[in-house]
Amino acid sequence: MSDETGTERTEEFARLLRELKDRSGLSYGTLAKRLHMSTSTLHRYCNGTAVPVEYAPVERLARVCRATPQELVDLHRRWILADAARGRKADQGATRGPAQVAASDGTAEPGQGENGEPVVIDTAAVALPPRRPSWLRRRRTALIASVAVVAALGAVTYALRPTTVRAGDTTTPTFTGTLDVGAAAKPSATPSPSGSGHKPSASASPSPTGTAASADAGSGTSKGDGKQGANRPATAVPLAVDIRPYVYEDPCSQHFLVDSDPEQVGPPATEENAQRWSAAYGAVSSGEQRVALTVQGTGEDTVVLNSLHVRVLTKGAPLSWNDYSMGVGCGGGVGTKSFDVDLDNGSPTVTVKNGQRDFPYKVSESDPEVFYVTAHTKAHDVRWDLSLEWSSGDRSGTVHIDNAGRPFRTSADVGRPGYDYPLGSSEWIERVGG
């Protein structure tokens, strides 16, 4: 991507932010206070000199400015492209020397800081390392290859070890085989603690989002005829899926079940902190769970998303825990286009909701898609995950989607004691009639 294209995408994102801000009638200072950020930071976002690292503050801004559901989707798409452009710019800067980066950005002249003060530059710190002799490079390459072989043998040994199920664990390990198109069947017997025979597709991260790993999330082959995917490894998946496991349609829409009394539970979490909050308290989504999937191609080829499926791993009696709301006093909102999953159904499927168009979809590196999936239950405690079937040219495969290597978990909240945390309060208050 050229620097010009990246700048254009950042400006398109900033332009939509400015339009929403201007339409709201709020000043930068007032809007910044409502978003719990500095006025200068909000200025940088709206004039395009900075792109938020996470989408959560962008979505909060849009909701405060009363963005429509379609504007929310468009804003998310523009943020993805602007964020990707920023990442490429950072990568390009890393390949150049520090002096080159400073000179090209125009942030400082040699020997001067931002305020014109003298700066001492340690030339030894930026000097290129001496070139190692060729025989040393060959020895290092041979050593790395040996370590890789030992690691591969260890992985095979681990994959073939006996599987044990601990007492009280209701998740049954499954074994599945992966068959590449046009290749001989090679069954894989790798037990998974989440009940899936595939390697977990979402990487564990303290951040509120996870990303399905392209190389491990599915399979496919290409014929090497110079067309789509011909120069890529047979196991590479030409798309990436960013996962937000707890999406607030509004703060009042998100409830968690926690096996603790109110005195032991901290204040409610914002959307960007929801995953850390739920992990800290062992919380489970109460009644329903709204998940956002951002699907984007990783190359120039167009990828067709054929279908999205839900899989129930375990289903039991609902949890007898307390219900905690993440917000109060929200009022009714406009339903966003989404996909719906009734987890109480004997064979749940992914269905369209609020005018959402059904599959198939097409994505590429420059044209991502954002899907919202709302799963709900009134009678069970359910562990579940999703699978996305894709095809690109003569290749096809499946991406498995879960919550950072674990299944999503949603439990019914009927009849459970409920607690709210009113604005300005310092403690949880029992919900009347809840």
User: 423 or 418: which carries more pLDDT confidence?
Assistant: 418
* Cα pseudo-dihedral 147, 152, 155, 157, rounded to 10: -100
Q: Sheet harboring 210-212: ordered strands across?
A: 210-212, 239-244, 288-297, 369-376, 338-342, 351-353
Q: Which residue has the tokens 């801004």?
A: 61
Amino acid letter, residue 16? L
Share of the chain above pLDDT 90, in %: 37
Q: What pLDDT score does 299 carry?
A: 83
Q: What pLDDT score does 89 carry?
A: 64
**Is 362 within 8 Å of 295 (Cβ atoms)?**
no
Q: Which of 63-72, 321-330, 335-344, 370-379 has the highest mean pLDDT?
A: 370-379
pLDDT band at 415, cuts 50/70/90? Answer: confident
CA dist 351 and 342 (Å) reads 9
Amino acid letter, residue 82? A
CA dist 68 and 79 (Å) reads 16
**Is 376 within 8 Å of 341 (Cβ atoms)?**
yes
**Is 390 within 8 Å of 326 (Cβ atoms)?**
no
CA dist 233 and 219 (Å) reads 10
- Could you give the 3-state DSSP secondary structure of residue 411? strand
**Is 194 within 8 Å of 200 (Cβ atoms)?**
yes
pLDDT band at 193, cuts 50/70/90? Answer: very low
Instruction: Check whether 387 has a pLDDT greater than 60.
Output: yes
> Quick one: tokens of 170?
């209701």
User: 147 or 401: which carries more pLDDT confidence?
Assistant: 401
Instruction: Check whether 194 has a pLDDT greater than 70.
Output: no
3-state SS string for 121-161: CCHHHHCCCCCCCHHHHHHHHHHHHHHHHHHHHHHHHHHCC
Amino acid letter, residue 153? L
The pTM assigned to this predicted structure is 0.55
Lowest mean pLDDT among 96-100, 295-299, 307-311, 373-377: 96-100
> Quick one: tokens of 278?
């739920």
CA dist 214 and 220 (Å) reads 11
Instruction: Check whether 187 has a pLDDT greater than 50.
Output: no
197-242 tens-digit pLDDT: 333 343 333 334 455 544 344 544 433 343 344 455 556 889 999 9
Contacts of 156 (CB under 8 A, 6+ apart): none
C-alpha 80: how far from chain center = 11
Q: Which residue has the tokens 């019914």?
A: 412
Cα-flanking dihedrals φ and ψ of residue 361, to 5°?
A: -130, 165
Question: Is the link from the previous residue into 360 a cis peptide, with omega within 30 of 0?
Answer: yes
Q: How many CA atoms lie within 13 A of 184 on its CB side?
A: 1
